[in-house]
Amino acid sequence: MHDHSHQSTPVKVLTFAILITFGFAIVEAIGGYVAHSLALISDAGHMVTDSFTLIIAAIAAWLSTKPPSKKHSFGLGRAEIMGAWISSFIMLILCLMIVIEAILRIQTPTPVSSVPVMVIGAIGMGINLFVAWILSRTEQNLNTRAAMLHVMSDLLGSIAALAAGVIIYFTHWSPIDPILSILISVLIFFSSMRLLKESLSVLMEGVPKHISLPLLTEKIVGHPQVSDMHDLHVWNLSSGQVLLTAHIDIEQLDTWPTTLQQLRIILRDEFLIEHVTLQPELIVHPITFSKHPLNQKKK
């Protein structure tokens, strides 16, 4: 049995969010360069990450509308996963570069213009809140949840930049700027590592996090018409699209259509798996020579 289910993220909403996020990232990077604020520059890097995340989600939404082809029988949904892996790897390198620059700034302090930092940081907070509001109003799936996570992380980055500006304005203690830059980089690092780990798990066809194979096996084998199950495989084809294949040992083939429907409901309702391929295998009990009807003694 095959059952396909796709959820697509509205491309227009994501495109609008991309333009806002990436546009302000440029403004923030320029402001950070003019004000000599590494906090603004690092936060701009974080917003670029958000832009890439939104772009990946938008591309995935567009690709999900494309039907499977002769060369790609599953479609191109996994392009999203590959893009996520590449962008997260690039961001890990960017984090390292920012931390190195921040350490150099701590060793050799550079004067920071606090007012531009505060103004741009405050605007950044508003921008991120607006983007988060846009994403919250669209269809919720793995793409939008991942994008929302990045936007909320970026919101914290804008708060850090604003805090750096306020502290420098009142105390003139400029090392707070690179210190907060390191904190922002750590935030980006862990977000990128999570994305890298999740995308790599999908690319390596790992079992989805929400599924326990022992529990799934117990549920299937516990069906009264199922004797055993083997060759079980569960993996993510793309974000939110889980596939399962297995061989099911049964003793009565005539009840298989009903059993198949019941197993499909279990997998859908309890494990959120809708793309299922189950192959029934009839158990044949061998008849020994002594028990063969022709060899039974007449009473």
Structural contact between residues 272 and 210, judged by C-beta atoms closer than 8 angstroms: yes
Paired tokens of 286: 């061998």
HEC secondary structure over 108-155: CCCCCCHHHHHHHHHHHHHHHHHHHHHHHCCCCCHHHHHHHHHHHHHH
Sheet with 228-238: strands ordered across: 228-238, 241-250, 275-282
pLDDT of 283 over the 80 cut: yes
Which pLDDT score, from 0 to 100, does residue 293 have? 55
Q: How far is CA 251 from the centre of its chain?
A: 41
239 vs 133 pLDDT, higher one: 133
Task: Convert the pLDDT of each residue in 177-199 to its tens digit.
Answer: 788 878 877 877 887 788 788 88
Q: Identify how many contiguous H helices and E strands the chain contains and give both numbers.
A: 8, 3
On whether the 11-203 domain is CATH 3.10.20.30, my answer is: no
For the chain, the structural domain boundaries read 11-203, 213-282
Task: Convert the pLDDT of each residue in 34-89 to its tens digit.
Answer: 877 766 776 677 677 778 777 877 777 677 667 888 888 887 777 777 777 877 78
Which pLDDT score, from 0 to 100, does residue 8 have? 38
Fold of 213-282: Alpha-Beta Plaits (3.30.70)
